[in-house]
Structure 1
Amino acid sequence: MRAPAVRTLRAILLLTLAGLFAGCSTAEYAHQAWQGQRAVIRDSVPIRAILEDPTADPNLQSRLAAALQARRFASDTLALPDNPSYTRYTALPRLYVVWNVFVTPEFSLDPVEHCYLVAGCVAYKGYFQEERAHREASAWRERGMDVFVGGVPAYSTLGWYDDPVLSSMMHWDDDYVAKLIFHELAHQQFYIKDDTAFNESFASFVGQQGLRQWRASRNLPPPDMALDRRQQQLTELVLAARDGLATLYASNLSEAEKRAAKTERFAQLRADYQRLRDEQWEGFAGFDQWFGDSLNNAALLPFGLYDQWIPAFERLFQQVGEDWTAFYAAVEQLGNMEGPDRTRRLVQLAGES
């Protein structure tokens, strides 16, 4: 999956270490998660050591120096946790650090959830080996389920370990790396169980606002929002399709009729995307690979989760005078609310933005 698609599915983000804390996981799954995380930590090297190594790749040194500066900015200016996370670097022997497997029934948009002691319930399982992820996916397909496998460039251990900068993060530009560091540290700053939309929208806001301030601190213009606008348009397109599918699955049609209508709806989604790409995006093809894969219910799951409440967090940030410490305190108050009360407050905030 190419960079823009990965950004849109952000994370397909980012709590894959949950397997380490499994409360209802197989021994094999917990073992691969432990071994994978152990290797990531074991193979990490202090970024300072790479910067001081005369034999190191100059391009890598430049990239890591920028990442280290962003890391310092995160704590000094954004008031994010001040710890050794993202001060080390791990060169991975693969394109992504993990692959996440999403699963839904054939006629449902409700994910098969996996629940863990620390991370709570999440809508995927993460594997450090691509082959294992696809093996898991095949097992679910044999049971008639819709499955999607997505590569992930980074994840957060929620402060349990000192997360390193990963080579899988370095395939994209310095802005992306900085935003990802801010995003992941936000998960360390505050996280609640069983509310992915809250957690990811909060972290996404911190990443976006942090990047704006990071660039301003270096007298650079605001980040180019063209890709963000395209991502938003694509998300709106997918969410509309998802609403239509939800109505279809709740209908009294027979399974054969639902299956035919489902195929038609996904064909329409692909056609709508092609029209958007050709007529409004001047042929920008950054999401073509995702649409080239088999579209199904599971592939739609990540959309909307990572930006649903960004307008609410933007408004909250403004209400506290754009003070990061006060903002995190307000976010914690929101997070401590009961789920329905928290949702009502988020809706209210989003309406005020």
Structure 2
Amino acid sequence: MIPQTGTRWQILRRLLKPLGTAAAALVVLFLGVTPMGCYLSRAAYEEARILARRQPIAVLAVRESTEPALRAKLALVQEARQFAIDSLRLKAEESFTTFSQLDRDTLVLVVSAAYRDRLERKTWWFPVVGRFPYKGFFDFEEARKTAEALKADGFDVTVGPSSAFSTLGWFNDPLVSTTVKADSVTLVNTVLHELLHTTFFAKGQVSFNESFATFVGGRGAVHFFRAKGDSALLRRAQDDWQDDLLLGAFWERTSREIDSVFTALPDSATAQRIVARDTVYARARRRLIDSVGPQLRGYPEGWVERVPLNNAVLLSRRVYAERLDRFDSVYTAAGGDIREAIRRVIATHKDSVAAAKNR
């Protein structure tokens, strides 16, 4: 439980001041006593700290007192942002205009879970925004406890760090130091990925949105470094995109095979379903090691042996890599014009939504 003294609660009291006394007391009781309240108050506190540390990137990028390595990364972010606006016609609004230096290497730990006997993710409900298939924790010990509890309840679980997060437009989220730690190609990819979300976001279609952004980040980074004339980083961006395509195909094939064995067995045959899917994952591991792994260009040695294979991992990976080949086929049909490919994908999606409404 979060202590009701100190800076965190001072911040919360200021946020609640406009409310009436009775209403504010109820909110404070909710935030301080219930598990969800404790979770939200910690998130609000951490977000307030991040927002309080914002500084304009335009100033930091030219300030002599800024560490040279950071100054170079911030300048790269500015270039990528301008490239997105000028060359890709993405909407940047206020994204990536401020920077917050954090006092830790990991921003949040993200917990995802899935049922072991079917391809279905566990979801968490949050006030206002509804249900999400993952939960981020600023309290790392709480994240580990949650993961262990889910495993004890029979879920497949995956836990991983995230270097950035979004408040879904509630605040002007700054670029944080954990994001800037990434290599140059990944950093540019991230900027373009997020600005695609700012430009277009299909309501209720998480996999489409994230996979579309993966395509824009990957292919866009290739075009960015080609325009800069940086041959070394261009090759790295090209390798990263080919890895994305290769692994996207692997996750999709594995998903089809898992779904096939589940479909062949009745819903009540939980034990048999789990045994069958474990057999599929064993074959997938062999394929990953023997066929996919040797083709990967940007992954560390031994990754294919170490990456866990379970329903939570599979569904989490597929969110960001669903039918990347389809997006790439639009890119090819557009003659390798990334801006035109983005326009066509958005137009086609809007047309399909409009057609569905008119049926």
TM bin (shorter chain): 0.7 to 0.9
Of residues 152, 173, 178, the one that matches 2:183 is 173
Q: Indicate how the Cα distance of structure 1 residues 264 and 161 shifts in structure 2: closer, same or farther if over 3 A, else same.
A: same
Q: Indicate how the Cα distance of structure 1 residues 66 and 127 shifts in structure 2: closer, same or farther if over 3 A, else same.
A: same
Find runs of 4+ consecutive structure 1 residues off by over 6 angstroms.
none
Q: Which residue of structure 2 lines up, in the alignment, with residue 305 of structure 1?
A: 319
How far residue 323 of structure 1 moved from its aligned partner, in angstroms, is 8.4
Larger Rg: 2
Farther off after superposition, 255-264 or 165-174: 255-264
Say which SS state the counterpart of residue 160 (structure 2) adopts.
strand
How far residue 316 of structure 1 moved from its aligned partner, in angstroms, is 5.3
Of residues 202, 214, 238, the one that matches 1:204 is 214
How far residue 195 of structure 1 moved from its aligned partner, in angstroms, is 0.7
How far residue 333 of structure 1 moved from its aligned partner, in angstroms, is 6.5
Q: Which residue of structure 1 lines up, in the alignment, with residue 276 of structure 2?
A: 261
Tell me whether 1:234 sits opposite 2:247 in the alignment. yes
Q: CA–CA distance in 2 between the matches of 1:78 and 1:220?
A: 19
Say which SS state the counterpart of residue 192 (structure 1) adopts.
coil
Q: Deviations over 1:80-105 (max 9, x none)?
A: 22433212222223333222211111
Q: Deviations over 1:222-272 (max 9, x none)?
A: 443223323332332333222222222333374443333333333332222
How far residue 300 of structure 1 moved from its aligned partner, in angstroms, is 0.9
Q: CA RMSD in A?
A: 3.4
Of residues 111, 114, 120, the one that matches 1:110 is 120
Farther off after superposition, 305-314 or 238-247: 305-314
Q: Which residue of structure 1 lines up, in the alignment, with residue 349 of structure 2?
A: 334
Of residues 298, 303, 309, the one that matches 1:295 is 309
How far residue 187 of structure 1 moved from its aligned partner, in angstroms, is 0.9
TM (normalized to structure 1)?
Answer: 0.75
Farther off after superposition, 103-112 or 304-313: 304-313
Q: CA–CA distance in 1 between the matches of 2:308 and 2:340?
A: 44
Q: CA–CA distance in 2 between the matches of 1:341 and 1:310?
A: 23
The amino acid of 2:319's aligned partner reads L
The amino acid of 2:259's aligned partner reads A
Of residues 259, 265, 272, the one that matches 1:246 is 259
The amino acid of 2:318's aligned partner reads G
Q: Which residue of structure 2 lines up, in the alignment, with residue 9 of structure 1?
A: none
Q: CA–CA distance in 1 between the matches of 2:64 and 2:217?
A: 33
How far residue 279 of structure 1 moved from its aligned partner, in angstroms, is 4.5
Using the aligned pairs only, state the percent identity: 25
Q: Indicate how the Cα distance of structure 1 residues 300 and 291 shifts in structure 2: closer, same or farther if over 3 A, else same.
A: farther
Tell me whether 1:62 sits opposite 2:77 in the alignment. no
Farther off after superposition, 193-202 or 251-260: 251-260
Asked which structure has the greater RCO (Cα within 8 Å, sep 6+), the reply is 1
Say which SS state the counterpart of residue 257 (structure 1) adopts.
helix
Structure 2, unaligned runs of 5 or more: 1-34
Of residues 88, 93, 99, the one that matches 2:103 is 93
More helix by share: 2
Equivalences for residues 134-145 of structure 1 within 5 A: 134-145=144-155
Q: Indicate how the Cα distance of structure 1 residues 339 and 238 shifts in structure 2: closer, same or farther if over 3 A, else same.
A: farther
Say which SS state the counterpart of residue 302 (structure 1) adopts.
helix
Whether the 8 Å contact between 1:320 and 1:327 is mirrored in structure 2 is no
Say which SS state the counterpart of residue 156 (structure 1) adopts.
coil
Q: Deviations over 1:35-63 (max 9, x none)?
A: 23222222222223333443332111112
Farther off after superposition, 114-123 or 136-145: 114-123
How far residue 112 of structure 1 moved from its aligned partner, in angstroms, is 1.4
